[in-house]
Amino acid sequence: MSQNTPTLPLTDPRTGRERSSLAVGREAETRAAVAAARGAQPAWAALTPRERARRLLRFADLIEDNAAAYVAAEQAGTGKPDAEARGEVENCADLLRFYAGAQRADTAPAGGRRMAGRESWVRWEPLGVVAAIVPWNYPLMMAAWRIGPALAAGNTVVLKPALTTPDTAMLLARDAAAALVPGALVTVPGDRDTGRLLVAEDIDMVAFTGSEAGGRDVAVRAALHRVSLELGGNCPAVVLPDAPDDTCAELVRAVTYNAGQSCAAPARVITLRENYERTVAGLAEAMAGRRAGADFGPLNNADQAARYDRIVGSSAAGIVHVADVASRPGQENGFWRPGRILADLKPDDPAVVEEVFGPVLTVQAVDGTEEALALANSVPQALAASVWGSDTATTLALAHELNAGEVWVNCHLDQCPELPHGGRGSSGHGTDMSVLALTEYQRPKAVTVRLRTP
């Protein structure tokens, strides 16, 4: 870092107290990081798929070998419970192993004679240098979602973590240097200005996960660079009268995982009038058994806590159920916020139209499935949704009509590397996970050869 690099405090979300400080990257740091990645890219791309896979597998091994350090780093920045942090470290290693194998499969159209006297095929080539800008809600897992396919496809990556959660990104860069090639993965910690500077550098793609406002800013600044955006959710969960008995418990479990700070978490529960009161009561009972501090972690930062307070404070919900907070001694000033169920709401209530991004479920009633579908699709975000019911024809018909990139039936927030995840509308565009994500970080080149000459 240069002498003029600013230093900003880092806060422990569990206590609200400063835990350390961070030297944030500015133009000199972003330029050096991109130069290192640019210099490393030809050698990394030149490796055979087999060799690139071997090194990605070694990278995954190092993450697991150092799992305790990753868990501690993840908890320092996010305050996640131990089980959540450990699960996300495991998921990170698993995703890298998935892409180590996936990039060895041929996803290009088969070669052949598409024209008389011509043989044609398609080469998938890496883009070059990818700027991956990831958020604070899943600092390690979102990094893995981006760097996994990008590295597997032969790109090098400059990873810019969120200001409040740089810890695991630094460990990733350290272990990547040992497992891959020097410069294949470079980390530049910093604030929003760091991200803006990185987007303006000599890169080939921006992979951004974050807020809708941040995504719009990136899209403008990226100009002609390829952009992949995964933004907000405000996701609906349509609960039908014949929903399974564990529906309310499962929805509460999903919305309190990571304190509800997930773009794909359920947010808006939509019922028919005949099961509205039963659903509200069931959600309230389930939420009463989930305590912030004992069962899930804090919100990430003071701004997010203030957002939660503003939205729930301005809500005119006629029915409010608030769970308990059970923070430990010394953590009274952390960013702990209780789980809430809000019902008897107007359609334009702030808690409905804004994404709270916290452990909050709103509940609305409609007259039938067509109205439920219209309400579910009424917000500009279209990332994920769920349908809960026992009639297969009805649930699958609703799943088909829901405007979302990912739909669950009788479950929510269940994901694995084999399945794609991506949004529509103001939730962004692009694909995370699955073999489909490899094409996000590649460009096709058609090659045609004339077989006979005059």
Q: Is 230 a catalytic residue?
A: yes
Selection from 258, 424, 260 nearest residue 355 by Cα: 260
Q: Is 223 exposed, middle or buried (0-12, 13-18, 19+ CB in 10 A)?
A: exposed
Q: Is 263 a catalytic residue?
A: yes
Task: Return left, alpha or beta for 82; rule: phi > 0 is left, psi -120 to 50 is alpha, else beta.
Answer: alpha
Strand partners, 361: 341
With contact defined as beta carbons under 8 Å apart, do 150 and 204 qualify? no
With contact defined as beta carbons under 8 Å apart, do 334 and 12 qualify? yes
With contact defined as beta carbons under 8 Å apart, do 143 and 169 qualify? yes
Could you give the residue ranges of the DSSP H alpha helices within 123-231?
139-152, 167-179, 192-199, 212-221
Cα separation, 257 vs 253, in Å, equals: 6
**Which residues, 6 or more positions from 403, have their beta carbon under 8 angstroms from its beta carbon?**
376, 377, 382, 424, 425
Report DSSP state, residue 25.
P
Cα separation, 258 vs 91, in Å, equals: 15
Among the listed residues 263, 355, 406, 440, the single catalytic one is 263
Cα separation, 403 vs 236, in Å, equals: 10
Among the listed residues 74, 230, 355, 406, the single catalytic one is 230
**Residues designated catalytic:** 230, 263
